[in-house]
Structure 1
C-alpha cells in the first residue's frame, strides 16, 4: 500500500469565497486516494502523527480530517487497532454528497446503475401517461435551470438531478418519487462523474430536451428509448472511469 501522499496545497483566500480549511484539504486528499484505489477497502491508514508529517500539517488537522471521513462512512476508527478504510457495498454504503457510489466494486456499481435504469425507464413511462401541466412545468423549469447552470460543477449536477426528480414527480407515483429521493445522493455522485468526464458538456442537455418533448407529447415508447440511451451513455463514462 502506497501511503506517501503529496503535501496538500494550502488554499489561498479568494474574495467572496470562503477559504478551504486545512483539514478539509487533508480529508479531500485521503478521499481521492480511496477513490483512485491507492487505499483499498480494509487497508490500515498510517498513524495520525505519521500522516501529519507526510502532509506537513498539524496532528489536530489530521484528527479533524479523520472525523470528517468517518462521517462520510469512508473510514473506521477502531480503538486499540487503528484506522481502516471501510468496506462499502450496495446494502451498507453510507451515502453522502460525494462520490461514494464510485467506491463500490465494479460488479456492485453495475447493479446500482442497472437498478437506476430500470427505475427511471418505468418512471418516464408513467410520466407520459399521467403528466399534468404542473408536472410538465416542473420538468421544463429543471431543464431551463440546467441550460443556464454553467458556473460550477455542483450547480450543473444539482440541476441535472432535479430534472430526473421532476420526472418522478410527474409520474404521479409516490413510491417511485420516494425511491428517487432516497437514492438522490447516490445518483448525485454518478451524475457528478458523468459531468466531470463528459467530452461534450451540452450532450446531457440535448438528451434531456428530447426526453422532455417525448413526455410532453405522451410518447411513452420514445421516452423509454431516450432515457435508456441517456443512462447507458452515462454508465459507459462511469465504468470507463472505474477501470
Structure 2
C-alpha cells in the first residue's frame, strides 16, 4: 500500500506540474515505473485507483490517458457517497445545501437564458400534473433544481449540488411531503422560485430558495424522527 500511495502521489504531481496534461497518454507501465523508481506492481495499482477516481482513463489495447479532469468527472463520486450517509449526517448535507443552494439560485436569476426559463416552466407544469406520483415528483424535482444550478454556468457548483441532492435524500423528503398532504405546498415553493427567476430578481430568488430548502429540511427531520420511533422487529 505504501508503494501504491507513493505512485499515486507521483502521478498526481506529474499532472499538477503539467507534465501529464489533460488528454495526454502516460508512458508504458515499465517506462513509468522506471522513471519513478518504483515497482511495476505499485504503479499498476496506482493506475487502478486513479482510474476509479476518474483521473485516468485506461483504454484496453491503446494505453492509459489523463482524463479531461472536468469537475463532472472528478466530483462524480460525491453523489455515491451521499447515498450511503445515514440520518444525522443527511441533516448535515441539508445544512450544506442551505448554505449553497440559495446563493446559487440568486446567481442563476442573473444568468438564466430564455430557453432555460421556458424549460423550468415546462418542468413546473409537469410537477403539478404529477402531484400525487412519488417517483415522478422526485424526477421533476431533481431536473428543476439541476436546471437552475446549471444556469449559473459553474460546472463545479453544479456537480457539487447534484452530488449533495441525491435521489435517496429527495425520496425521503417527498415521501414525507406526500404522506403529510403537503406536496402541493412544496410545488408552489418551486413556482415561487420560478417567478423570482423570471423577474431576474436575485434577492427574491435567494429568499425563495432558502424557504424551499428549509421546508425540505423540516420534512426530512420529521421523516427521520418517525423512523426512529418505529420498533424494530426481533430477528
TM-score normalised over the length of structure 1: 0.54
Q: Deviations over 1:120-179 (max 9, x none)?
A: 112101111111101212222221221122463111111111110010122222222222
1:140 aligns with 2:121: yes
Q: Which runs of 4+ in 1 moved over 6 A?
A: none
Cα distance, 1:137–1:111 mapped onto 2, change above 3 Å: same
Report the equivalent of 1:214. 196
Report the equivalent of 1:182. 163
Cα distance, 1:93–1:194 mapped onto 2, change above 3 Å: same
Report the equivalent of 1:230. 212
Partner Cα separation in structure 1 for residue 81 and residue 189 of structure 2: 30
Partner Cα separation in structure 2 for residue 242 and residue 120 of structure 1: 22
Please report how far the alpha carbon of residue 95 of structure 1 lies from its aligned counterpart in structure 2 after TM superposition.
Answer: 4.9
Cα distance, 1:219–1:235 mapped onto 2, change above 3 Å: same
Partner Cα separation in structure 2 for residue 154 and residue 236 of structure 1: 21
1:173 aligns with 2:154: yes
Stretches of structure 1 that go unaligned for 5 or more consecutive residues are 1-90
Secondary structure of the corresponding residue to residue 218 of structure 1: coil
Match of 1:239 among 196, 221, 231: 221
Cα distance, 1:214–1:229 mapped onto 2, change above 3 Å: same
Report the equivalent of 1:152. 133
After superposition, the CA RMSD in angstroms is 2.3
Cα distance, 1:115–1:95 mapped onto 2, change above 3 Å: closer
Report the equivalent of 1:54. none
Compare the two structures and name the one with the higher helix fraction: 2
Please report how far the alpha carbon of residue 205 of structure 1 lies from its aligned counterpart in structure 2 after TM superposition.
Answer: 1.1
Partner Cα separation in structure 1 for residue 79 and residue 110 of structure 2: 35
Greater relative contact order (Cα < 8 A, sep 6+):
2
Aligned residues: 146
Of structures 1 and 2, the larger Rg is shown by 2
Please report how far the alpha carbon of residue 196 of structure 1 lies from its aligned counterpart in structure 2 after TM superposition.
Answer: 1.1
Please report how far the alpha carbon of residue 241 of structure 1 lies from its aligned counterpart in structure 2 after TM superposition.
Answer: 2.1
Stretches of structure 2 that go unaligned for 5 or more consecutive residues are 1-77, 226-235
Report the equivalent of 2:98. 117
Matched-pair contact (CA < 8 Å) for 2:106–2:204: no
Partner Cα separation in structure 1 for residue 106 and residue 137 of structure 2: 25
